[in-house]
Amino acid sequence: MRETDNLLFICSRNKWRSPTAEELWRKHPDFNVRSAGTSPKAKKTVSSADIHWADIIFVMEKKHKIRLVAEFTRILEYKPIHILDIPDEYKFMDSELISELESKVNECLKVQVMRS
């Protein structure tokens, strides 16, 4: 059994929401973390390699899950995908975004984010 889980955070353009989540969780000793976007214009567009790597996938909105399932149906078959329902109205590391991410991700993982 692996000691750490691989968490993949996904939003549209990998600009604010998913990079904030990656920043919050990357120091946690139980997780490896990546972020990506569903848009072709994303800073980092999600790839099949990202999906294969991930143990748990978090998407910011339902539309992100729909896009992932449409593009990566087979490799998503046994991957848990959590929809966080966080709208695209925050900037990188916005305090309200951090609070929402901590609350919703903690609820799914049953652990606390590590503060530096």
Domains (ranges, CATH) in the chain? Answer: 5-105 (3.40.50.2300)
Q: Residue 42 has which token pair?
A: 């994303």
Q: Which residue has the tokens 């993949």?
A: 8
Per DSSP, helices labelled H in the chain are: 17-25, 48-53, 62-72, 95-109
Segments of the chain scoring below 70 in pLDDT = 1-2, 111-116
Interval 83-115: pLDDT, tens? 999 999 999 999 999 999 999 999 988 766 655
Q: Residue 77 has which token pair?
A: 């078959």
Q: Residue 33 has which token pair?
A: 């973390």
> Which secondary structure element, helix H or strand E, spans residue 81, and what is its range?
strand 81-83
> Which secondary structure element, helix H or strand E, spans residue 31, and what is its range?
strand 31-37
